Amino acid sequence: MRKNAISAIILAAGYSSRMGVSKALLRYDNKNSFVKKALQVYTDFGCKEVVIVVNSELSNEPSITSLLSKNIKLVTNPYPDKGRFFSLKCGCKNLDFENDIFVHNVDNPFVEKNLLNELLANQGEYDYLYPSYKGKGGHPILLSQKVVMAITGENNFNQNLKLFLKNFPNSRIEVDNPNVTANINTKEDYNNYFKI
C-alpha cells in the first residue's frame, strides 16, 4: 500500500465531560495540543487527506481552524451523543478520496510513524487492523476502503463500532508499545502520562 493512498480521520467530537476541558485541546508538549500532534504525525507520514471530526463547540476554535489546509478538513458532528460510530460516519462521508484510512481517537495522542508503518506492512488481505499490547487492543486502527464504504452506507447510527468491525476480516498486530492502549479521559489519566 502506497502512503499517498491512505487518509486519516481524527475523532474529536466528544464533549470531554469527565476531563472538564476538550481533550483535543489538551497540551501534549510545549508546542502541540493533542489534535495538533496527531495531525502532524499523519501529515508527516504522507496521508493524502486528514479529516478532523469535532463537535459544534470546537467547530470555530481558532487553534484548530488555523491547522486547516487543502488536505486537512474540519467536519462537525451535529449529534455527538450518538457516539463514535456516528462520528466516524460523519468523517467517512466527507473524505475526498477512496482510500484506506487510519482512525485516530484524540484521547490517545501517542501515535508515531513507525506504528503506522507497522500496521500498513501487515495489512495484506485484512479489512481491519489494530495494534495490541500484551493482548489488549489499542489505536489507531486501519480500515480498508471496503469498510469505509460499509460505514458510509450504514443507516443504523447506534452501531457499536467494535462489534460492527468484527464483521470484516481483521488482524491484531502485537506491538511492543504500551501507549497504544492509552485512553486519557480524566485529569488523573492525563497526569499519569504528562508531567508538564
The gap from C-alpha 139 to its chain's centroid, in whole angstroms, comes to 8
Q: Cα(first)–Cα(last) distance of the chain, in Å?
A: 38
CA 165 → CA 92, 140, 148, 176, distances in Å?
Answer: 15, 14, 10, 24
Which pLDDT does position 24 carry in this prediction? 94
10-residue mean pLDDT profile of the chain (196 residues): values are 77 81 92 96 96 95 94 95 94 95 96 96 94 96 97 92 95 96 91 82
| Residue owning grid cell 489505536 | 139
Which pLDDT does position 4 carry in this prediction? 52
In the chain, what are the domain boundaries? 3-193
Q: pTM to 2 decimals?
A: 0.94
The gap from C-alpha 112 to its chain's centroid, in whole angstroms, comes to 13
CATH classification number, 3-193, choose in 3.40.50.300, 3.90.550.10, 3.30.450.30, 3.20.20.150: 3.90.550.10
Closest by Cα among 179, 109, 178, 168 to 142: 168
Residue 59 amino acid letter: S
Backbone angles phi, psi at 163, to 5 degrees: -70, -40
d(CA 17, CA 14): 8
Residue 191 amino acid letter: N
Which pLDDT does position 47 carry in this prediction? 95
Q: Which of the 8 DSSP states describes residue 187?
A: H
